[in-house]
Amino acid sequence: MPTLQIANLLLLSLLWGGSFLFIGIAVQEINPLLLVFLRVSIAALAMISLIPFLKIPLPRDSAAWKAYFMMGLLNNVIPFTFIFYAQTLISVSLASIINAMTPICTFIILALFKEELLKPNKIIGSLLGVIGVALLSGLTQLALHTDPLGVLFSFMATVSYGLSGLWAKRHLAGRNSIQSATSQLTASSIIMVPILLITSTPLPEVLPTNSVIASILALAIASTAFAYILFFELISKAGASNAMLVTLLVPISGTFLGVSVLNETLSLIQILGGLFIGLGLLVIDGRLLNLLPKR
């Protein structure tokens, strides 16, 4: 992979790893549901503002918008809600490590719906990932008194991401990636409006602190809008398999930022669980097996 694409990969891992840090700061003062709305709506506005320059129009047919509304629900509204509530209960580093299960959950769901073949390396990789989450949910609770509900919420977010992968493969394949990102963020923003009204989500009684405002803007613009563009650029220039390496780097970035900025404590159990998930990703990807000598 060229040096420029490696740099883009590292930058993307920082943006997505940093999202967990931004969430951890913002949920201290902002209701998680309101934060979901702010993330998707600000990101949608940022993406829409780029449409005239990119010359990529939004879809006009109702069938496409129906697909994007479902994608927005599965890929943004549901997982963001789970992650934001999870981070009111668990640390930034733990949330980012569990999020690395996303590709594994995606494969399992695609296999269940017969969209992927059950190859040995993918089965073994999935089992390793499940062991990693089991370590994080069970042993972490015993050793660090971590709220198991936070771990469950984080894991449910990865399941929703997996379902969004199935939906995208069946209904959004072949569509322009920037159009898809902009449309699903727009749809997600619209979905969140009635949710906020029905749940009577409270607004902050006082103006949030500068650090929270900065975290919300960074989360929406840098870790969502710009990260989408960077991710799709990586896919087009370096290929999907290389772009997915970011899933190995995000927990490292998220953990580093959580420990260095928020002074979180990283336990041996968290490291062990993260290693199992990372090993599972490598086995599924096939690169690890390719390094072994062939007879």
Query: For residues 125 and 281, is the Cβ–Cβ distance under 8 A?
Result: yes
Q: Does this model's pTM top 0.75? A: yes
pLDDT > 90: percent of the chain: 37
CA distance 150 to 99: 12
Between 146 and 221, the higher pLDDT residue:
221
What confidence tens digit (pLDDT) does each residue in 90-111 have?
888 888 888 888 877 888 888 8
CA distance 107 to 166: 9
- What residues contact 7, with CB distance under 8 A and at least 6 apart? none
- What residues contact 207, with CB distance under 8 A and at least 6 apart? none
Query: For residues 132 and 277, is the Cβ–Cβ distance under 8 A?
Result: yes
What confidence tens digit (pLDDT) does each residue in 247-256 have?
777 878 887 8
Query: For residues 32 and 81, is the Cβ–Cβ distance under 8 A?
Result: yes
Query: For residues 73 and 249, is the Cβ–Cβ distance under 8 A?
Result: no
Listed by start position, the domains of the chain span: 3-289
- The answer to whether residue 225 scores a pLDDT higher than 80 is yes
**Sign of the C-alpha dihedral computed for residues 233, 238, 239 and 245 taken in this order:** negative
CB burial of 228-255 (b: ≥16 within 10 Å; e: otherwise) equals bbbbbbbeeebeeebbbbbbbbbbbbbb
- What residues contact 241, with CB distance under 8 A and at least 6 apart? 285
Q: What is the pLDDT of residue 191?
A: 97
